[in-house]
Amino acid sequence: MAFATLCCVQSRNHGHRGNKLDASQYYNHLPAPLMDINKLPKHFSWCSNGAGNLCTPSWNQHIPIYCGSCWAHGSTHMVQDRLKIHKKGMGPGVMLSRQALLNCGAYHGYGDGCNGGDVFDMFGYMTEFGLPDESCMIYTATDHHVFPEGLKQCPDTALCRNCNSNNESDPGTCWAIKEPIKYKLKRWGRIEPSNVHGMMSEIMQRGPITCSIACPDDFIWNYTGGVYTDVNNSTDVDHDVEVVGWGHEDGKDFWHVRNSWGTFWGELGFFKLERGVNTLQIESGDCWYAEPEYKLEEEVREGDLVGSMYGLIPRNHSAPHLSLA
């Protein structure tokens, strides 16, 4: 049986581009300072017990139906893991809503949903509008194309909603949550090409990074574990993944990388790429980092805002009432 590619389809670099955000206000050309190469450990991963296992759970972008959304997965994985790292594991891990991004991003020029996009499309949207977590909008592997043609803006209920019913036979009424907890980005940047030392320094000091890689059939279908070496020098970059660390195994240096194809693929959803030889183009200069902020979550923790069935409200304010009759 023949299958199409499981990566980000052919249009990863052909998504819509944002034109509202002044990227220079947020784009940060200064990655973490280079560490002394002799002080970098031989093995390190944010997703291992040695680092405290400060990673959120893995995802599968291909269910319930195929969706070329690696750009959304690779970037949100990195940002939510950095949130957990920055908070030193305090509280439940935040699972950002990939679906909210796929539903609404294209209306503002950020990516093309399941047809592909770029990591900085997610950065632009999250910086400008913020992303709620998955309790607002679960992943359905669809995008803006499910909404009526001709809409000029994303429906409010496509970003965050709640539903209720008066009785068991009633399908219920849903309404938009216009003030959910959202997470934003302060700044982001890209690591210089062929800078293995810089990639390791950024990961060690500030958290995982998101990199674009080539995605040959041999890697997709035949990888079952160990350090992957690309004997064909694949150059067709069309997939975004989260690099969480590095190590050494069987005489080879490797990157420890999280995929978005489910935990049944590879090594519990992760894989190892030979490090230092630009395997699958991972060191070719398309690696990104971002600094998240969680101001609204902090305001809830500090009691300035409280939650309700209709979203966040200031303390001592009454929540609006929605009649479901």
pLDDT by residue (tens digit) across 95-148? 999 999 999 999 999 999 999 999 999 999 999 999 999 999 999 999 999 999
Confirm whether 160 is a catalytic residue. no
pLDDT value of position 12: 41
Q: What is the mean pLDDT of residues 36-64?
A: 90
Is there a contact between 244 and 268 (Cβ–Cβ < 8 Å)?
Answer: no
Is there a contact between 79 and 188 (Cβ–Cβ < 8 Å)?
Answer: no
Q: What is the mean pLDDT of residues 183-208?
A: 96
Catalytic residue among 8, 47, 70, 211: 70
Phi, psi of 25 (to 5 degrees): -75, -25
d(CA 212, CA 241): 6
| Residue 325 reports pLDDT greater than 70 | no
Query: Quick count: other Cβ atoms within 10 Å of Cβ 178?
Result: 13
| Residue 78 reports pLDDT greater than 90 | yes
pLDDT value of position 320: 65
* Distance of alpha carbon 250 from the chain centroid: 31
d(CA 242, CA 110): 20
Packed helices 119-128 and 70-86: angle between N→C axes, nearest 10 degrees:
60
pTM for the model stands at: 0.91
Instruction: Give per-residue pLDDT as tens, 196-210.
Output: 999 999 999 999 999
Catalytic residue among 103, 115, 162, 259: 259
d(CA 282, CA 217): 17
Confirm whether 70 is a catalytic residue. yes
The residue with tokens 């995802």 is 59
d(CA 229, CA 248): 13
pLDDT value of position 165: 85
Give 181's pLDDT tier (boundaries 50, 70, 90). very high
12 three-class SS: helix
Domain segments of the chain: what residues? 12-28+45-314
- Token output for 113: 């949903």
Catalytic residue among 108, 144, 239, 256: 239
Of 142, 130, 122, 131, nearest to 97 by C-alpha is 131
- CATH T-level assignment (fold) for domain 12-28+45-314: Cathepsin B; Chain A (3.90.70)
Instruction: Give per-residue pLDDT as tens, 228-256.
Output: 999 999 999 999 999 999 999 999 999 99
d(CA 179, CA 309): 11
d(CA 189, CA 169): 51
List of residues 6+ apart from 121 with CB closer than 8 A: 15, 16, 17, 18, 71, 105, 110, 111
- Token output for 225: 């574990």
DSSP 115-163: G---HHHHHHHHHHT-EEBTTTS---S--GGGSPTT-SS--GGGTSEEE
| Residue 49 reports pLDDT greater than 70 | no
CA angle 169, 170, 174 (to 5 degrees): 150
